[in-house]
Amino acid sequence: MAQPQPHAMEMPDMSNAIVAQDEMGRPFIIVKDQGNKKRQHGLEAKKSHILAARSVASIIKTSLGPRGLDKILISPDGEITITNDGATILSQMELDNEIAKLLVQLSKSQDDEIGDGTTGVVVLASALLDQALELVEKGIHPIKIANGFDEAAKVAVKHLEKQAEDVAVDQKSFHEYLFKAAKTSLGSKIVSKDHDKFAHMAVDAVTSVMDLDRKDVDFELIKIEGRVGGSLQDSQLIKGVVLDKDFSHPQMPKLVTPKEGHDGVKLAILTCPFEPPKPKTKHKLDISTVEEYQKLQTYEHDKFVEMIDYVKQAGADVVICQWGFDDEANHLLLQNDLPAVRWVGGQELELIAIATKGRIVPRFQDLSKDKLGTCGRIQEMEFGTTKDRMLVIEECLNSKTVTCFLRGSNKMIVDEAKRALHDSLCVVRNLVRDSRVVYGGGAAEVTMSIAVSDEADKQHGIDQYAFRAFAQALDTIPMTLAENSGLDPIETLSLLKSNQIKEKSSTIGVDCLGSGSHNMKELFVVDPLIGKKQQIMLATQLCRMILKIDNVIISGKDEY
């Protein structure tokens, strides 16, 4: 019987090895491709990072533009959200990859700073990373690519500023432009059917609260309230405050108007409860007889009467209280014709105080006539068959406080309408800050791409590659818009570029809605310059950060 042959011992590949000797004559082996292996390892890490970014971008890419599609997001609790807002989609995605999380933070930065363009910034950052990967695979050092991208971004922004138009010529034309810009931002949203109404609402809200001297808008003064029931068409802008409350007693009047001889309804805004003072926690009260109990009851009643006297002496018509009050206090308020609202939140109290020019009072003893707020009327409104009630405080002394009151057939539509209106408010706010505009539909990206490509021809060495890659990344936005609109992306892009060069115009973009014109100026598709600039700078900085990462270390172990 033949004996099995022992396995030959596998020898490592020594073809790239050199045997050398140290100063003591001891031999050691130098393997030539050690550096290559290390380089290859760094490249694999870069690839995994960029692929993670690409996968996130591919999810929200289809939401870009007026023909963008919506996503259904289901939370761990089973709550459903339908939206095409980039920041909302990314914030609700559960991501394990660290690089993908950086993209979420990128969209959040754009949302916090500008409020619009959250999908575009992620698509652009992903395109830059894709281009960077190709250059890394060619053997170009990541830092060289990052520096080249930085220089290209400066060229792009500088060219964009030259092409921007200042629209604040006079008050009337500026107001029209604000409306058009608000309308553009609503084009891809669920409210696009009523985008005229919502655009007017956004412009009126911002112009009511803006400070023209400082060129700023305080969003704290604009409150967005939503209620299920009715249609989007029933939404309205209220010059005042809407409270999700009703009067504390069902027999209190539903409408409070000024008394004769008064210049308005007077409001007492209180942060003290309608309750007798309680003993401190370290003390206790023992009641052993009926007389003692009755004495306590009388004391409480007298205290209630005393509190109501303070309110009446100050001349208040309505009481707005941060805390609750019991049935006895409620009954006494009704008897004394003092309509009251309880459990009003601190933020809402501040809004009421700003709107009515009243003072928030912490003690009944401090109440006086000069601390009361003034408004035109307070009305309790009912909505639909659900009998939901809300209080509307209107015709306030300080009309700088407004409430956008949104209606919708279900909660998802109301929530999406809130997000859409917020984006629109941000666009109008940005134009108040800086009245320069550029044109949408990918026109701004195409003109920047042409400028960066022209600059690439003047560059020497590796920067030339980085500039061309940056220009190609900018082309991704118009191509994605064309793809989402059912057009041929490559054909559309080449047509836009040739027309922009031929006509020397930076207003030619993708005709997403099939209107027959490619001139974005004619179609009034405008974007605030600061929003577009922020997109370019944020995407470039994120790309630079990711290019400088070669591996991720979790709990002391390398993760590739």
For the annotated catalytic residues, the residue numbers are 85, 118-119, 423
Helix, strand counts (H, E) of the chain: 17, 23
Q: How far is CA 369 from CA 73, 361, 378, in A?
A: 52, 12, 19
What is the chain's alpha carbon radius of gyration, rounded to the nearest angstrom? 33
CB atoms inside a 10 Å sphere around CB 554: 8
Torsion of CA 87, 89, 92, 94, to 10 degrees: -110
**Beta partners for residue 30, in sequence order:** 18
CB atoms inside a 10 Å sphere around CB 236: 13
Q: Which is nearest to 158 in space by CA: 504, 447, 440, 427?
A: 447
Q: Which is nearest to 492 in space by CA: 533, 537, 526, 445?
A: 445
Torsion of CA 482, 483, 487, 491, to 10 degrees: 70
Alpha carbon distance 72, 93 (integer Å) = 11
Q: Which is nearest to 512 in space by CA: 68, 164, 121?
A: 68
- Six-digit token string for 519: 């001139």
Helices 443-458 and 463-474 sit at what angle, rounded to 10 degrees? 170
Output the CA torsion sign for 284, 287, 292, 295. positive
Alpha carbon distance 85, 71 (integer Å) = 9
SS3 403: strand
Helices 529-547 and 411-433 sit at what angle, rounded to 10 degrees? 100
Q: State the amino acid at position 189 in one-letter form.
A: K
In 390-441, alpha helices (H): 411-433
- Six-digit token string for 88: 């909302």
Reading phi first (left if > 0) and then psi (alpha if -120 to 50, else beta), residue 214 is in alpha
Alpha carbon distance 121, 539 (integer Å) = 6
